[in-house]
Amino acid sequence: MIFSRNQLDRAKVIFSKPSFILAVWLTLATAAGIQHYLRGPEHVKRNYNNYLIFKGVFWHAVEKKNLYDLYPEDHFDSNHYGPFFSVVIAPFAVLPDAVGICLWIMFNGAVLFYAIRQLPLKESQIIAVLWLVTNELYTSYSNQQINPFIAATIILAYVWMRKEKDFWAAFVIMAGTFIKLYSIAGLAFFFFSKHKMRLIGALAFWAVVCFVAPMIISGPEFVVQSYKDWQVSLTAKDGLNAISRHQDISVSGVVRRISGHREIPLTYFLLPGVFLFMLPYLKVKHYGNTTFQLLMLCSVLLFLCLFSSSTESSTYIVAFTGVAIWFLLHERPYPKLVMGLMILAFVLTSLSPTDLMPKPARVFIFDYALKAVPCIFVWCYVMVELLRFGARSRLQQLDS
């Protein structure tokens, strides 16, 4: 044997420690940041362009420049995040780029790590979720994206409502929404709250705080105008997403690209999707069941990516976290279909952007938005399990 049984046992113990996984995540974050920074100033825009856009949001707010204009001398593309983002990015933007980019990526990973650790799952299940999403997390790291933070806001919205910490659930919902609208999906757990009026009040409070906070940097008039500019920016971006090679990796993107009809309106996909998404709310008697709640969490995380034209490859840390949680909700031995879908998702969704996938296959998957396909299958399976919840199934009953 290459390794003794004792060595294997020690390795298993180490890999099962949350502190070790966190160290791996933070190391990967640092490596991603340094890798992109050190490729040389002539390539700087290409290598950490997203971070330069994010950093620019703060400095443009300070200088009272339009947050959504193009600044080709600084970076490619433009900002699409809300004015509140200027407050969030500020601690990183004031640092030298080499430090700021690493800490920014580490921050996103650490928040998601914390959120997953709060889930009402067994410790072994949480460890498995953390390892399963690691590769997808690195894809997000490589793009310096805020998507791990967005996934964390949705998870924490659920967890804190469950723990009757509605004030803080409202905080993460509003903070995320005022940065990137995805986090408004945290309201999907509204009916699981035991203190709905308290939650509504907290949402109103944090909405005011998040609206006003950027005014500390740039003043009321500029911030009000910036919210108007943000709406214009998002409207324009939605129109461009349908023809973009990098966006619309979703249900609509798969159909549009395979059919060759990029002009198909998003509403043709969104309306049926919303209708299906809402059907499990008819199962009122199961609202208090932890397994049912976690399935709904998985549905939300998947839905956000699958029915948004803004979804790109790095957004899939949101959906893939839902896939990992869903997989581990099943009893062992895992049903063959569940195992098959998990393997398909790991290969086609998580590994497809990496060098482990042969380049011709990688390009083909990218061109036809096939990264979304396994997640579409999983979401449909989740919908069936939610609608049949209470019948005989291979789902774990976490309340028993």
Q: Is residue 181 part of a domain?
A: no
Q: Is residue 120 part of a domain?
A: no
Confidence band, pLDDT 50/70/90 cuts, at residue 176: very high
Q: Tell me the pLDDT of the chain averaged across its residues.
A: 92
Q: Is residue 352 part of a domain?
A: yes
Q: Is residue 273 part of a domain?
A: yes
pLDDT in tens, 266-304: 999 999 999 999 999 999 999 999 999 999 999 999 999
Q: Is residue 51 part of a domain?
A: no
Q: Is residue 235 part of a domain?
A: no
What is the pLDDT at residue 40?
47
Report whether pLDDT(105) > 90.
yes
Report whether pLDDT(69) > 70.
yes
Q: Is residue 37 part of a domain?
A: no
Please report, to the nearest 10 degrees, the dihedral formed by the alpha carbons of residues 125, 129, 309, 387 taken in order: -10
Q: Which domain holds residue 323?
A: 245-400
pLDDT in tens, 21-41: 999 999 999 999 998 777 644
Of 10 and 179, the structure prediction assigns the larger pLDDT to 179
**Domain count of the fold of the chain:** 1
Among candidates 267, 255, 282, which has minimal Cα distance to 383? 282
The whole-angstrom separation of Cα 115 and Cα 122 is 14
Confidence band, pLDDT 50/70/90 cuts, at residue 392: low
What is the average per-residue pLDDT within 218-233? 95
Confidence band, pLDDT 50/70/90 cuts, at residue 215: very high
Report whether pLDDT(3) > 90.
no
Q: Is residue 220 part of a domain?
A: no
Query: How is residue 89 written in tokens?
Result: 């990015």
pTM of the model: 0.94
Cβ(120)–Cβ(297) under 8 Å? no
What is the pLDDT at residue 46?
56
Cβ(295)–Cβ(111) under 8 Å? no
